[in-house]
Structure 1
Amino acid sequence: MIEPWLYLALTATAVLAGFIDAIAGGGGLITVPALLAAGVPPLHALGTNKIQSMFGTSVATANFARAGMIEWRRNIPLVAAVFVGASIGVLLVQAIKADALRIVIPVLLIANAAYILLSPRMSDADAHERLSRPAYAPLAGAIGFYDGFFGPGTGSFFATSLVGLRGLGLTRATALAKLLNLTSNIASVTFFALGGHILWSLGLCMALGSMTGGWLGSHSAMRFGAKLIRPLLVVLSLALTARIVWSYFAG
């Protein structure tokens, strides 16, 4: 049973996560450990995180779309690849025992925090593409699989690969990353819901916070470009992950 004050705390956390996710991705690095630290079981934490992320990402995607920064038809193959990959990922994670997830999740969180901290800085300038859109589709599907299986950092993986391999400027890459991330979220919510692994009241409360953060973050990204918020994201993620690890071994 989740205490009422935790609803407020987790909703406020979702505002911050939604803001960060809309700009640079990685909002799940805050919300997933926060849910686990609040005592939510691993699978329910992943499923509940997906519904709040889906709503927040939808707001950010809509804002980028209204600004004309998303090419819908040309990216249908990528959307399809991501949906299939995410569906497979979420089905697989539900087959893993909860005790194993309690060990795997902190390891993945730490790895993602290190990735964001150490990944190269990117700019808004378009560059030479190393992979065509069809060649990028399998990688997009793999990232979708990761999002279905776990999730945190997915937006960063999409944005980084779109910049480095597709040659998109960071803001354009962030816009397309939101569309692909929304796709994987929809697939994940569908199968987590079918498996009964979503705390709907908590997820919808957090969704309000995520939507607020997503709206603020996407407008900030379009106006100012990507900001250097990695240190904040990494510190929060590692602090919450340390809390989870301590609780696991103390228990």
Structure 2
Amino acid sequence: MSLELVVLGTGAFAAGLIDAVVGGGGLIQIPLLLATFPTTPIAVLFGTNKLASIVGTGGAAIHYARSLDIPKHIALPATLAALPGAALGAMAVSLLPPSSVRPLVFVLLLLVGLYTFFKPDFGRLEGHGRIQHKLPWYSALLGLTLGFYDGFFGPGTGSFLIFGFVALFGLDMLHASASSKFVNLATNFAALCYFAYQGSVMWKVGLVMAVCNLLGGQVGARLSLRHGSRFVRLMLLVIVSILLCKLGWDLFSK
């Protein structure tokens, strides 16, 4: 195995671990792919990243489903709605450059981070959401919206999903993280189908990364289940902070 695949595999393992907890693995995998294949079209790198991610996310989702009682009345509508949402988002890339949404995403992530930081009990215990009487409809709307966002731009999708499941439906952080994996699985599937149809996937590289991402996802899911909502909350704050730094650099360094 070449040194490049070893580096990519190691990065994919770390990405799978992070993704299994709060999402954000693309922060590791995409820069690694860009650095390793600087002349490869960006669509091919994105397609390869989705191939690796979908395997790790799927493995983590199965692990959570075996260990937790997933709130299907919330997770299922969001997952189904995320499929067309992600497909529409991928199509919209040609109409509007993803960079145009960076300022809005920066502000939303900042609000999510501040709210979570200053509310220590946010997502610690399962409670009652604010819209219990319309759960399927609002869950589907959340999945459709964030599915579109993931297909169109992507960074922070996992964090937004966890925040939405906690704030709107009263889930604790652990169950929110577990539920978000099924939505992420749907968005990754829709995006991968699109990239595969376009021939924009490096299958050998992607499959090696997928195995490593799967292993990392299993470790991340075990850590979340062992340490609970407090661990997920801490990881959420860390990932949101890193995303803010990256988006802030992209916005203000020019």
Which interval holds the TM-score relative to the shorter structure?
A: 0.7 to 0.9
Please state whether the residue corresponding to 1:165 is helix, strand or coil: helix
Question: Could you say which residue in structure 1 is the equivalent of 2:123?
Answer: 123
**Counterpart-to-counterpart distance in 2, 1:12 and 1:105:** 32
Q: Which amino acid letter does the alignment assign opposite residue 35 of structure 2?
A: A
Give 1:125 shift: 0.5
1:172 pairs, out of 172, 175, 182, with 175
Change (3 A) 1:119 1:44: farther
Question: Could you say which residue in structure 2 is the equivalent of 1:206?
Answer: 209
Which string of whole-angstrom CA distances, capped at 9 and with x for unpartnered residues, describes residues 22-75 of structure 1? 112111122222222332432222211111110000111000111133244664
Q: Which amino acid letter does the alignment assign opposite residue 156 of structure 1?
A: S
Change (3 A) 1:238 1:210: farther
Question: Could you say which residue in structure 2 is the equivalent of 1:15?
Answer: 13
List alignment gaps of at least 5 residues for structure 2. none
Residues 48 and 203, structure 1, Cα contact 8 Å, conserved in 2: yes
After TM superposition, the structure 1 = structure 2 runs for residues 1-251 of structure 1, keeping only pairs within 5 Å, are 4-38=2-36, 39=38, 40-72=40-72, 75-93=75-93, 95=94, 104=99, 107=102, 111=106, 118=114, 120-121=116-117, 122-131=122-131, 132-133=134-135, 134-226=137-229, 227=231, 228-229=234-235, 230-231=237-238, 234-235=241-242
Give 1:202 shift: 1.4
Q: Compare 161-170 and 24-33 and name the one that shifted more.
A: 24-33
| Identical columns (%) | 34
Q: Which amino acid letter does the alignment assign opposite residue 188 of structure 1?
A: A
TM-score for both structures, normalised by structure 2: 0.80
**Counterpart-to-counterpart distance in 1, 2:20 and 2:167:** 19
TM-score for both structures, normalised by structure 1: 0.81
Give 1:240 shift: 11
Which string of whole-angstrom CA distances, capped at 9 and with x for unpartnered residues, describes residues 96-142 of structure 1? 69xx66xx39958x938757754514433013312332123212201
**Counterpart-to-counterpart distance in 1, 2:65 and 2:165:** 17
Residues 162 and 168, structure 1, Cα contact 8 Å, conserved in 2: yes
Give 1:198 shift: 1.4
Q: Which amino acid letter does the alignment assign opposite residue 220 of structure 1?
A: L
**Counterpart-to-counterpart distance in 2, 1:136 and 1:78:** 5
Change (3 A) 1:96 1:50: farther
List alignment gaps of at least 5 residues for structure 1. none
Aligned residue pairs, count: 239
